[in-house]
Structure 1
Amino acid sequence: MREMKNIKIFALFFMVIGLFSSCEDELDPKVPSDAVGPELLSPSGGGSYVLEKVNEDQVFATFDWTEADFKLPVVVEYALEVDVQGGDFSKRNILLSNIETPLEISVSDFNKGLLAAGFEEGTAHDIQVRVVANHELVTEPINMTVTPYFDVDSWTVIGSAVGGWNPENDQYMDYDKEAGVYRLTLDLSPGEFKFRAPNKDADNPWAFNLGLDGDPRTIFDEENVVLSDGGANIGTTGGNYTLILDVNAGTFTIIQNEAPELTDWTGVVLDAVGSGISSDNPDATADGSSWNWGNVLVADNEGAPTSSAGVYTWTWEGIILEANEGFKLRTLNGEPAPQNEIAFDLGYGALDVDNSSELVVDADGNLSVTEKGEYDITLVVDAINGDIKTVTITESAPATLYMIGGTIGGWDWAANSIEMIPVHSHENLYWKIVWMEAGTDGFKFSPVMDWGDDFGMAEDLGGGEYSFGGDNISAPVESGYYMVVVDLEAEKISVVEPEVYLIGDAVGSWDAANEAAKFTIDNANEKLSFQGTLNNAELRMYAWHSYFTDWWQSEFMIFDGNIEYRGNGGDQDRVNVDAGDYIIDLNFKNETGSVTLQ
């Protein structure tokens, strides 16, 4: 019995040995003597190359070879090998594997392969390169001399200060290996810039970018400015600068080597003067200058401009202008400004006609308007482009807008009018969700709670849209909630079914107009409702319309059971909800709402 057992063990041992031998023969077959190796067609070899980081995306060389023929049914895989000249490739230093012919190898990949093979950066190396098939059949090697570089991520300066925000505007910085920082000395135009590593993510050149930690600001000379991922743009007034970026520390230093040769308009006071400047302006005074022409009114901000990257802006918001009377814009009293010893006055020739009101006309070279009223005047001096001066005059948007009519309850201003909600950042847009009664005598709008400047419709444009005119806008066919939006600039009114949404972490998405977070219109119960599961997060809700551009510009919130609108204000106080199933009801008739955990 013992002898038979030993025989079985030995038999099993030889079976295992045979199995391994069989597997080894299949995985690594002997290369037939008539196998044909690959032949390298290009490059031809020779030459001396100094690789540079700035050229990392360029093609170093294109390797082209004939296919190897093993005379066996095997899959052929190729690799690019490197060794010192005179070496036998016994170390099997692979530059690239799993390659196909023709192979375009970039400066970056060739450099990385050399560093990985142990070739020191900054030193010229005599090397030989060959293509190998399945670690068996090889091409004749080619010789060359190559100096690799120290490889780090490329960081660039990009922005309007260097010509634009497109890839062709990337200004590559030099890496200081000893200090561990990036440096670049360059001319900056007045504008903005940021830092980015455009090649770190092949799909998104902005995946890694650094800007100011906090709000945008203009910087001249400053050390160790704190940066943050995706931070704010960095402003500059132009000139020659040295920029030093420390990616690891998240800071940069900016040194101004030479100031820009631009006119400085900081603090220069301007005024508007002429018989067209109405004495109804509270701060208007009689012109006491040598011009002795009508009234004078200094610009907002005590006459001084705001500035950004070499562009200076003066405004007169809500200035009252008389009809058919002339006026000009000038340096204070028409005299040279003490800040730069420059004087100017501007008339109709400086007007941006395309972007100004049609009521602005030429009065013998002076500016004038055909209707008395409130206007917004903007004067821009572009110091970057030779102090070009541009004037824009538009009719002032009303500070308020009211809706009135039998469709919303009656025609009594005190008892029935509804104040519209301004759309944030759009002074000519107003909105409101209102309850409308069918079969009534329509509605109109007015910037004040009175008649005179009221308006309704002229033409039904279809799709619930109307052009401005004097007729009442008709009541809807069915009673219920409607979203009313007034565009004062386009002179259009829209009346459509309301769209109200939740947004943010509470619903797990910051996508606008998300159907999963939309409120349902329940006209039978005079409310809009949302029913669903919310996460533990801040509650954010808003009304949406095709005229709008950003959801937060028509945001609102429920506080103590009342709906309060953001309008033109800042962020509203936050309301947090715990995770759970909720019903949120909104009653826009009485401006109330509720958030109920189920």
Structure 2
Amino acid sequence: MKNWLNKYFMFFVASLALMSCEKDEDMAIVRAGSEPVLALTTNTVVLTEETAADEAVTFSWDKADFGYNAGVTYTIQFDVADDDFASAHNILVGGSNEKTFTVEELNALLTKLKYEADVAHNIDVRIKASVSDKVNATYSDVETITVTPYSTYIEPGYLYVPGGYQGWSPETAPALISVENNGIYKGIISFVGASGLTFKFTPNRNWDMDYGNGASAGSLAEKGSDLSVPTADTYEITVNTNTMTWSYKLHSWGLIGDATPGGWGADTNLKYDNAAGVWKATMDLTVGNIKFRYNDDWALNYGDDDTSNNILNQGGKDIPIATAGTYDIVFDNENEDGSVTYSVTKK
């Protein structure tokens, strides 16, 4: 009986060993991948705005081999020539073996990477092939391409707004701006404390040409009669010189509170400083509290939950004024980091 059990046990172990060998034979063998070979349709490209829709260059490569049937992911890497891809910019292309850039796409890439326009730049390119975080990626040989990008900067256009509120002087009038220089101008004009609410638009800082009222409401005509807004306040004004039309809407920030001249019942308007991009006022304040609010309404208002940092909070706490006096007020809602800040400085 014991002898039979020994034979059975030996047979069982042998069977396991055989099964293990068969399983090993089915396992994939991972070896170092063979590098993809990169080819370019050209190594020198001069990009121009006129040919933006044309094909600039095509990168193509053969498939990398990792020793088993795997889904390989390819990435095109760009870097400054001879930087050894220390600051590579990566463009993932998935399982494709080709990528064509149009002139516009390649120029946008170089603009994003802050390459100077109208200057030839040597750029190293290679292909990264990878299958898993657990398997070392493999890379093609480096190709160098010389690319001259073009500038996408558009000189903005300006339309000036002389009027009674500033002495009818085109030379010193604030301006509306057309960022794309496409004939559509926008800007913020304050008629706060104005002596007269009439104005015109001039394309230059002189009276050689001006636009006033046209034949119908909201239309413009060359040398037309004076334009106007209904009340002494601040407005966002839009002008379209392509269609010779204009419009305005209230765009006003004011100070309210029992420390202000109007108390909690009426805003004291701030004036928009076009050059600085901030709202300002100089006013007498008494001991009490203030807040900032938009378009004479509580729907959008700012207070300060932490007076140590001069950063405003939407719907925040009242801002205390401890000493009566004349104050310079500055309200800034155009900070690059998105914060809204203010200052209240006693003169």
Q: Please classify the TM superposition score into its range, dividing by the shorter chain length.
A: 0.3 to 0.5
- Structure number with greater CO (CA < 8 Å, separation at least 6) is 2
With normalisation by structure 2, the TM-score equals 0.35
Structure whose alpha-carbon radius of gyration is higher: 1
With normalisation by structure 1, the TM-score equals 0.21
